[in-house]
Amino acid sequence: MWDGDFPNLALGYSMKQTNRVERPLPLVIGFSTLREVHEAVRVWREMTRELETEKRKRGEEYAQDVIKNSGYLDWSWASPP
């Protein structure tokens, strides 16, 4: 189970997914504090330097299982025009 910070787990997963396509996709992130900026940079460095830990991978799998069991994995909705 993941015992770390869930927002950082989600951020790292998002960063990783945007770079897995032929052309990297833009990712927009909002920050409220300088600490959040530093945390996002730390996560980005972890993801881009292939420093992803086994613990993080297990955390992603756990989060996906929770979302899948709730019926929302790969679920999306239309954006308003």
Question: Within a domain: residue 77?
Answer: no
Question: Within a domain: residue 51?
Answer: yes
- Pick the more confident residue, 48 or 30: 30
How far apart, in Å, are the Cα atoms of 62 and each of 9, 25, 57? 11, 25, 9
Domain total in the chain:
1
Q: How far apart are the C-alpha atoms of 10 and 80, rounded to whole Å? A: 24
Q: What is the pLDDT of residues 41-60, one digit of tens each?
A: 988 888 777 666 777 888 88
Q: Which residues contact 15 (CB under 8 A, 6 or more apart)?
A: 27, 43, 44, 47, 48
* Range of the structural domain that residue 65 is part of: 6-69
How far apart, in Å, are the Cα atoms of 22 and each of 16, 28, 46, 74? 13, 19, 21, 20
pLDDT at res. 35: 93
- Pick the more confident residue, 52 or 35: 35
Question: Within a domain: residue 79?
Answer: no
Q: pTM of the prediction?
A: 0.66
Question: Within a domain: residue 76?
Answer: no
